[in-house]
Structure 1
Amino acid sequence: MNKVSFKWLTLCSLMLFAITGLQAQQRVIKGTVISSEDMQPLPGVNVIIKSDGSGDTRGTITDFNGNYTVAADDENMILVFKYLGFKTQEILVGTRAQINVTLELDAEELEEVVVIGFGEQKKESVVGAITATTSKELQRAGGVTNLSSALNGLLPGVSTVSNSGAPGESDIDIFIRGQGTWNGAGPLILVNGIERSMNDIDVSEVESVSVLKDASATAVYGVRGANGVILVTTKRGTVSKPKLTVSGNTTIKTISRIPKPLGSYDALRMKNLAIEREIPTHSSWSQYTPVDILQKYRDQTDPYLYPDTDWQDWMTEDYALNYRANMNVSGGTEKVQYFASFAYLHEGDILKTTDYGQGYDPEFSYNRMNFRSNLDMKVTNSTKLSVDLAGYMGIQSKSDGTTADIYKGLTEFPPDYVIRYPNGMWGWDVNRDRYKNAVVFLNFGGYEVKKRTQLQSDVNLEQDLGKVIKGLKADVRVSYDTEIQTENEGVNIANVDKYNVFRGYRYEDGTENIIWANDSEDGRDPLNGFNYINDRNQYSYEQFTSNNKNKFKLYYQARINYARTFGKHEVSAMGLFAREENTVQALFPVKLEQWVSRATYNYDKRYFFEFNGAYNGSEKFGPEYKFDFFPSFALGWNISNEKFFEPVKEVMNHFKIRGSYGVVGSDKGIDKNLYRAVWDEEYNVRGQTNGLVFGQPNRQPSPYIRYTEGNPGNLDLHWEVAKKTNIGIETGFFGDLITLNTDIFFDRRTDIFVPAADIVAPIWNGGQNGPANLGETEVRGFEIELKVQKSFTPDLSAWMNANYTYSRDIIIKRADAPLLEEYRKQAGYQIGQTRTTLNDEIISNWDDMYTGVQGLANENNLPGMFRRIDYNADGVIDERDIVPYGYPNNRPQNTYNLATGLSYKGFSLMAQFYGVYNITRNINLSSFFQEATIVRERDLNRWTPTNTDADLAHLGFLNSASDGQANLVDASYIRLKTLEAAYTIQNSPFLDKLKISSAKIFVNGNNLYFWSNLPEDREGGSYERDNYPLVANYNIGFNLNF
């Protein structure tokens, strides 16, 4: 094990066993909590134990009679009493055993503040569809290095699809309530209010993540809000003593699941069977392996002549290591608050790479350093200045070899292939053009280094104008981001010492003697039977190329806020102007302008109204579509605050209904200036006649440019428009012991952009069509979120969170060709609908073979193959028989999540399960076809004359017919997403001597187990994707609070 991880493990173990016995003795404190308004007991009051200087730690809630019981460690402990609508009280325990508390009403008390678009809002007054998670939940994600991965399953309506496990990669697709467009369905992501990537943010810097899902929540973002919005809020300083937190962890990661081909004996045996079952040709017999030779592959007496190669053993490590460390400090006074954080991350490589003398190790790795700081200063009693500075530097290294050959080598390379000979030469089988040595590509393909450096700066000045108009505030903000990315490639083509090997068998003419197929060639090695060509070349060092990308973002805004309470009436309003300029390299900046407004009203915390609007500008479109207005409206009714609801409050303490409707837009996936017509220029260069030519028959090129009509423009091109409707119900039972929230949503998206290539032009058009807004979709679904939390004793508590999301889209229109059959249209089906020909049955004999329809994939049929169905009954099987089947393959229609945990004194345990269903995947991993001798476990049960009940057709060699829907399977899965065991130590004399207020040691993991019939753990795309495999993480770490 790595020295650093060993030191951390040793330190954690010593702390755990040395400190456990030093805990102070506890005593029991009892009491009753009542309301100052009616002197009645308050059920569900949060009673939190707070140690001096250590922050909130553990606690309980009052029962139906307002009673509570907690255990106190010492006389200096403080009890904190919190309840919605009441002022928080803190009471020193001292020597008392009975502490009764009377809570006073406080209309300004916030149970929870939710981050919304361009501001914050009390949770009880929120009428939009917003869900949020906290830093504590994110840090339990189990060693993930990407914030997007940490979100998976935590929030209803949010699903993430990971396509690669490569170090430093961020190939993660995020869907909020499914997919409503084919033009970039990803949400708008804002970090501290600015559009920024969240992939390289250290999780320990994050305070909360809010997801805005309906139009009421996203309308303030107008033309960018149709796909939902994710708001990432980072930590800030608070009024407190200086607090120092140090954390670190080591992660052991392994490959989650990849399919493993069988050995060369099984592969060649199945290959022989495939040749025998076809009508053999001379060329196919040359690929046949005689029985006595086949036995030598099985015996492995000569592994270099009869190889049985395990590519995964050559190309993967048993495990790889990640390291992460973070240190942050925070605190402040009423005048100044501060926060600073520094973090380091190293991601190791699961692929087995080595410096074989080429002068470099092409390891896949990622090293990143993060920093973040902010300072909030009261310049005057009414003026506040905030300065934020953040950034990171990341260095990603990887092999520059052909990725298709590298990743396919793990699962799709034949086993009868010598990777390396005893003398150090590398195998290079020239008989197989598609299967060159993957280990050579991995280690000798050169290396690539990407460096990403980003610096983010924000300055915000807030002025309280209450002396002018009570409740009025104004602020201005300026932000400037710089990102520099460089890409260097070294040794970008490898010339490796290798054997070019010609290999094959055949029977000697007129005899049964086996001879080498290439025995007539000069130079054949008579001992090994190979014709080696010694290909010795030298490496090419210092061949570097650079691809530098510089990005700059300037953002500035001015905002005015108004909030007042008049008796039972609460009103607020917000107006904002913002402009953003994005520049890449030295190109002209892309600009976005927005004017935003919001107005809210509630009466007696019972009836709520909210209006949001955004007047957005985008320069992507023509002069008539530069700006548009996107409004939304929302209503809410907190029924639990009505007097008639009082009799049931002991059981159902919270009941609120809300609804919203609004219009938002999206310009994602649409290039600039498509509204302009394009003329193509053609030149005559060096004798070519691409331009104008004159003369007949002796044509002569003209020196003048030839102009031809290119893509025609479309002045009516504009953004997509999404009309969103949402109805939500929030309930709480037994003092929020149980909470159940449900949302039903319906989205109708119109004017979806369709590129010119997808629009069928009529014959009389004379050319291709221009792009147009012709698409239309609908998305329907619902979300359910259930939470349960219970304190059984002062030391024992448990909780459970569960959520379920159903989201189904359907295409209403998408420029389908006229007169196209309904089943061939995209209209009426989901975006990315899987399509295939259909199987009827496996042909069992020669008589059955001639009774079916011939055509595409049927003309070469033999017994043992699938018969294609002539779906449209026209007597021919062709593209008109390809029909919709199953579900899309890039996202699930249904997702569900269950997280549960318990804590006892300082110990805690939690587990999270995440599952999906209604998703279709093609598992047709490459099998052998001619030169590819690859079989897998399921191939052993294919059709044979003696196994006629098989589900799969027999393997083909020269005549490999399509399997239709046989390889399209239900890709449902359940995964053990996270598992954590932790122990927290506090109030320890030993820790006090070290100035440590609390210490936590934990062991957790991510993606630990995968229940599925799929042969590979890959969440998105098809099995032909050439991506780095997904990994399982096993993590050990600590947190120290000073």
Structure 2
Amino acid sequence: MLCLAAAQQGAFAQSQDSTFHKKALNDSARKAVRSSYSFQQPASVVPVLFGTQRREQLLQSQGVLSGNELLSFPVAQIEAALYGKFAGLYLLQPSAKPGEDAASVSLRGRNPLVLVDGVPRNLNSINPEQIASVSVLKDALATSIYGMRGGNGVILIETKRGSVAPRKISFTAQTGIQKQLNLPSFLNAADYSTLFNEALVNDGKQPIYTPDAIQKYRDGSDPVLYPNVDWYNSILKKKATQQRYNLNFSGGNEKARYFVDLDYLSQDGFFVSDAKRNSYETNNSFKRYGFRTNIDADLTKNLLLSLNIFGRIRNGNEPGAIDATLLGLTGTDLIYNNLLRTPNNAYPMLNPDGSFGGNQQFTNNLYAQVVGSGYRPAYNRNLGVDFSLKQKLDALLDGLYVKGKGSFNTYYSELINRSKSFAVYQYTPIPGGNPDIIKYGTDGSQNNSSTQNVANRQIYAEFLAGYDRVFGNHEINASLNYNMDTFVNGADMSIDNSALAARFQYNYSKKYFIELVSSYMGMNRYQKNHQWGFFPAAGLGWDLSKEDFMQSFKNLNTLKLRGSYGRSADNNGAGYFVYDQFYNASSSVYFGSPATGNGSIIEAVLANPNLTWETTDKLNVGLDIALFQNRLQFSAEYYHNAYSGLLQQRGTNASAIIGNERPNENIGKRTYSGVELTAGYHGQTGQVNWFVNANASISKSKVDYMDEVIRPYDWMKRTGLPAGQPFGVVADGFFQNQAEIDNSAKIDGYKAVPGDIRYKDLNGDGVINVFDEQALGSTKPMVFYGLTAGLNYKGFEFSMVWNGVSNRNVFVNGAGTYEFQSFGLGGSGQAFAHHLDRWTPATASTATYPRLTVGNNINNQRASSFWLKNGSYLRLKNVEVAYSLPQRWISFIKLDRARIFVNGSNLLTITPLERVDPEVVSWDYPNQRVFNFGINLQF
């Protein structure tokens, strides 16, 4: 399925064919290179796996986006620029931490493979200025040619290339301000102390804060003994900067074309710094340096050489904080977690003598973790080379050609530990004398160690023979290729994928279309007699607009019916040679008298010699309509993807019977189906060029089979429900009094009191337990959608992107929601504004939160409908306003174009959720709103 966004200039410049590259860009298109939207006709040629196709012959389910559309997004990771752009593509950004803020990507319910210039790569290896187009390939006809690696769909990125045109230099500088969204509303020390006393009483304990202490917390009369520290505003800045600079060159002649790109990104975190204490930076940050050189050269009239050289340096930094008691977290993650678990009255940030405040209970001062714990740099290096030769063989057979391609990629990541320990001091003033000071911890020297985190390399090779020919009304396009991909991670043995793939296309009079693709692929992580599989697909199409009986419809340009069916697979879960049984060293076994220790081994997870790939059978039916000289386009698709052989552990027959953990087996079955709609229009009203693109996806999943444990009631069963469906007990208000508790079902392992959450007894046995858990929230298909619109007028440009989702369930729970969570901090973590609405006898009729308790509460905090919320939202994801200075103002300094732009992301969110961002629900590293200003100069 083609998005109207394919209209943008740059999406068509993908062909390796030298005759295609020799087509000079017209002047208006060249002047629109940096513009986000150029209001042109859809590209006539689109990229597919192992080549390109003309739009008119395309039968695949595909969406295409020009790389220029990504430039209006002030984001560090490419994924964040894809929101709302493609039908079927769902994105979720669970964290905004610098360097780790990439969104998770789901294509028709599964995680797709990413290819850059036809080679499997990570999206981190490329920046937006380098991208010519992004394509999503969804059905079997598009992905079966990639065999057992294409079962989950493919995101195909093509980089920019030079053309036959005068040299063009483009420089872009931009700077932005980041602001964190949906920060928790912490209670001040007085309110916290009041609620903590109440929680202690609810737990049957004595309160620990006197009225006098609470008053001192409230009036701030003694900030040393009765502190009230606003930790968020004490250790976090209100804003952080982001900068990006890009310089690229392009051009060429009949013999050679080139594109060169240099890019720099700097993204700061929100932690405060203390230059008086440190000569180094402790704030978290992310810096990225990238370069790319793409060259195409005609060595002879019929021999084309293409060479890509690219690299990236990614450097990160964060505070050196470490606390083994808190799930082994370090640095930024540790500090943000501790923010949720350190109350405002825990200790003063600094004592009167400037030392770090603390006490026996709280020995990790938050401010000290930020500025006094050293720092942790991280270094990542990525270098790659692509090399290809394409030889035309028209002398042997008109339309025949061969192509060879090789690629080498290497990646290295190193973590440096320059952390240090610090002491905290409990400072007690003594009237008329020296203060009483108790020290906890030590001021240690700085560590200086490094760890190789990741080191991998990849070698990719491809050989292709193709044949393109037109015989009157008959057109044939055929190709046969062999490809291999070898990936080595650290000291592991390599992962080897090899495939023989073929494609055949035929059309008659551009009306009737047929396409056949297949792949015979093998992988070395399976048993030798289970390594290879055959994956075919076929597609048919009929463009009714070309029929004679349709010629009276003058405004109709395309009316194409198309369908495809085929098989592909996913081998990503193969594991490390899990068909062989491994044995691990274990503790010593003692024999004899006196006992003598002897080394022993223990059986690892059971091997599975029959392990194989997960298979996908895909059906896709589509309708494409284009009207009014292709200004109006519409596509509708229905898909049904049946996954079988999914890797799962058996749920029946407890592993204790066999004394070992069960292996993954190919037993699961799931179905993903849905409808996808795309529509767009670009037009002109007077001197105003404008466009609007919209897409919507209705996505349904179903667990057809899983080896469930025995569940006695139908409402407990997962089979037949959507994949990932949340389960829990059904909340039924709060217990209001003891009589109500006495007349209700008992809670297994817990004695309820008034103010606790009451649950429905589904099986009527008088006990609330796992047998009362059912599917929670909506089981309807998820609906997600996007809208992109814009206009330009006499150099002014405006564009906006909206995205949204409906029928989405999210659990809002954890330390950012529950009261007094600690994880090793003595059961006295933070409390929040929404806890003021807790249940008490006085607020019983209006309470929206259960009674307060200290630490974990197995009844109130269990998975239930009380914590499951409607996660639907509509978000103004991006807005850009730009102005290109008139040529007469800049021509005297030899400028072709000067464009000033302002853009922003996450500007508005409409959601029924309270307190939390609909994506970063867990309070991990809050989502961000970014305001960005920049200028682009072209010479």
Length-normalised TM-score, structure 2: 0.90
> Structure 1 residues 1014 and 596 mapped into 2: Cα distance closer, same or farther (>3 Å)?
same
In the other structure, the counterpart of 1:137 is: 69
How far 1:946 moved relative to its partner? 2.9
Query: Residue 713 and residue 947 in structure 1: after superposition, are their counterparts in 2 closer, same or farther (change >3 A)?
Result: same
1:445 Cα offset (Å) = 3.1
Alignment of 1:249 onto 2:174: yes
Contact kept, 8 Å, 1:432 with 1:931, in 2: the verdict is no
1:219 aligned onto 2:144 = yes
Partner residue in 2 for 1:854: 746
Between the aligned partners of 1:710 and 1:111, the Cα distance in structure 2 is 54
Distance of 2:856 and 2:83 partners within structure 1: 44
Q: 1:937 aligns with which of 827, 833, 845?
A: 833
Distance 2:474 2:770 in 1: 65
1:648 positional shift: 2.3
Match of 1:1010 among 909, 913, 925: 909
Shift in Å, 1:391: 0.8
Q: Does 1:675 align with 2:579?
A: yes
For residues 547-562 of structure 1, the aligned pairs below 5 Å read 547=452, 549-562=454-467
Match for residue 700 of structure 1? Answer: 595
Q: Give runs of aligned pairs for residues 556-575 of structure 1, distance below 5 A.
A: 556-575=461-480
Give the corresponding residue for 1:128. Answer: 60
Match among 675, 689, 692 for residue 797 of structure 1: 689
2:725 alignment partner AA: Q
- Contact 1:724–1:747 under 8 Å retained in 2: yes
- What is the CA-CA distance between 1:864 and the residue it aligns to? 1.9
Which amino acid letter does the alignment assign opposite residue 296 of structure 1? K
Go from structure 1 to structure 2 and tell me whether the alpha carbon gap of 1:898 and 1:549 turns closer, same or farther (over 3 Å shift): closer
- 1:434-833 correspondence to structure 2 within 5 Å: 436-491=364-419, 493-496=420-423, 498-500=424-426, 525=430, 532-535=437-440, 537-547=442-452, 549-650=454-555, 652-682=556-586, 690-691=588-589, 693-695=590-592, 698=593, 700-701=595-596, 703=598, 706-755=600-649, 760-761=653-654, 765=658, 767-793=660-686, 795-818=687-710, 821-833=713-725
The secondary structure found in structure 2 opposite 1:267 is helix
C-alpha distance in structure 1 between counterparts of 2:290 and 2:699, whole Å: 37
CA distance in 2, matches of 1:633, 1:880: 47
Counterpart AA for 2:860: S
- Report the equivalent of 1:423: 353
Paired residues of 2:526 and 2:574 also in contact (CA < 8 A): no
Q: Is the contact between residue 912 and residue 977 of structure 1 (CA under 8 Å) also seen in structure 2?
A: yes
Q: Is the 8 A contact 2:340 2:829 kept in 1?
A: no
Shift of 1:848: 1.1
Residue pair 2:574, 2:612 contacting (<8 A) in 1 also: no
Cα distance in 1 for partners of 2:667, 2:357 equals 54
| CA displacement at 1:850 relative to structure 2 | 1.2
Q: Which amino acid aligns with 1:147?
A: I
The match for 2:83 is 152
How far residue 818 of structure 1 moved from its aligned partner, in angstroms, is 3.8
2:788 aligns to what? 899
Match of 1:231 among 148, 151, 156: 156
Q: Distance in 2 between matches of 1:273 and 1:765?
A: 50
Change (3 A) 1:861 1:666: same
Aligned residues of 2:341 and 2:820 also touching (Cα < 8 A): no
Question: How far 1:532 moved relative to its partner?
Answer: 4.0
Distance 1:377 1:699, change over 3 A: same
Task: Give, in whole Å, the separation in 2 of the partners of 1:762 and 1:342.
Answer: 55
Q: Secondary structure at the match of 1:138?
A: helix
User: Where does 1:164-175 land on structure 2 (aligned, <5 Å)?
Assistant: 164-175=95-106
| Distance in 2, Cα, partners of 1:780 & 1:808 | 5
Deviation string 1:626-669 (CA, Å, 9 cap, x unpaired) is 0001111111111111111122233x432111111111101123
**Where does residue 756 of structure 2 map in the other structure?**
865
Distance apart, 1:1000 and its partner CA: 0.8
Alpha-carbon deviations, 1:989-1020, whole Å to 9, x = none? Answer: x4222111111110001112222243455555
TM-score (norm: length of structure 1): 0.81
Residue deviations 1:86-109 (CA, integer Å, cap 9, x gap): xxxxxxxxxxxxxxxxxxxxxxxx
Matched residue type, 1:545:
S
For 1:731, the aligned partner's letter is: I
Q: 1:412 to 1:710 in 2, by over 3 A?
A: closer
SS of residue matched to 2:129 = helix
State how far apart, in whole Å, the 1-side matches of 2:374 and 2:109 are.
40
Counterpart secondary structure, 2:97: coil
| Structure 1 gap ranges (5+) | 1-47, 62-79, 84-109, 180-185, 502-522, 684-689
Classify 1:429/1:921 alpha carbon distance in 2 versus 1 (closer, same or farther; 3 Å). farther
What secondary structure is seen at the aligned counterpart in 1 of 2:142?
Answer: helix
Deviation at 1:877, TM superposition (A): 2.2
Aligned ranges 1:944-959 → 2 under 5 Å: 944-949=840-845, 950-957=847-854
Shift of residue 296, structure 1, vs aligned partner:
2.2
Which of these residues, 396, 405, 413, is aligned with residue 316 of structure 2?
396
User: Structure 1 819/269 Cα, relative in aligned 2: closer, same or farther at 3 Å?
Assistant: closer
Q: Which amino acid aligns with 1:902?
A: L
Match of 2:18 in 1: none
Deviation for aligned residue 1:759: 5.9
How far off is 1:819 after superposition? 5.3
Asked if structure 2 preserves the Cα contact closer than 8 Å seen for 1:478 and 1:556, the reply is yes
Q: Structure 1 residues 240 and 257, CA, compared in 2 at 3 Å: closer, same or farther? A: same
Cα pair 2:125 2:382 within 8 Å, conserved:
no
Matches of 1:726 and 1:236 in 2, distance apart?
A: 33
How much does 1:52 deviate?
11
Q: CA deviation at 1:712?
A: 2.6
Residue 312 of structure 1 and its aligned partner are, at CA, apart by 1.0
Once residues 361 and 52 of structure 1 are traced to their aligned partners in structure 2, the CA distance between those partners, rounded to angstroms, is 45
2:872 aligned with 1:972, yes or no? yes
Distance 1:488 1:883, change over 3 A: same
| Deviation for aligned residue 1:708 | 4.7
* Structure 2: runs of 5+ lacking an equivalent: 1-24, 322-329
User: RMSD of the alignment, in Å?
Assistant: 2.8
Superposed displacement of residue 709, structure 1? 4.1
Bigger CA drift: 801-810 or 414-423?
414-423
In the alignment, the residues of structure 2 paired with residue 494 and residue 139 of structure 1 have an alpha-carbon distance, to the nearest angstrom, of: 43
Supply the AA of the counterpart residue of 2:337: K
- State the alpha-carbon separation in 2 of the partners of residues 526 and 837 from structure 1: 57
* Residue 589 to residue 755, structure 1, CA distance change in 2 (3 Å): same
Q: Distance between the aligned counterparts of 1:607 and 1:481, measured in 2?
A: 42
SS in 1 for 2:197: helix
Residue 806 of structure 1 deviates from its aligned partner by 1.5
Deviation at 1:358, TM superposition (A): 4.7
TM-superposed CA distance for 1:539, in Å, is: 3.4
- Cα distance 1:268–1:1013, how it changes in 2: closer, same or farther (>3 A)? farther
Pair 1:702–1:49, CA change in 2 (3 A): closer
- Partner amino acid for 2:671? E
Deviation at 1:894, TM superposition (A): 2.0
The one-letter code sitting in structure 2 at the alignment partner of 1:853 is A
Instruction: Give the SS at the match of 1:628.
Output: strand
Q: Is the 8 A contact 2:177 2:242 kept in 1?
A: yes
Q: Closer, same or farther in 2 for the Cα pair 1:112/1:528, shift >3 Å?
A: farther
Q: Retained in 1: the 8 A contact 2:560–2:623?
A: yes
Does structure 1 conserve the Cα–Cα contact (< 8 Å) formed by 2:911 and 2:918? Answer: no
* Structure 2 residue 906 is the aligned partner of structure 1 residue 985: no
Instruction: Read off the aligned partner of 1:420 and give its amino acid letter.
Output: L
Per-residue CA deviations over 1:691-749 (Å, capped at 9, x if unaligned) read 3x444xx363365x545544332221100001111111111233333222111111110
Q: Percent identical across equivalent pairs?
A: 28
**C-alpha displacement at 1:190, in angstroms?**
0.6
Q: Cα distance, 1:525 vs. partner?
A: 4.5
Asked if 1:327 corresponds to 2:222, the answer is: no
Counterpart of 2:134? 209
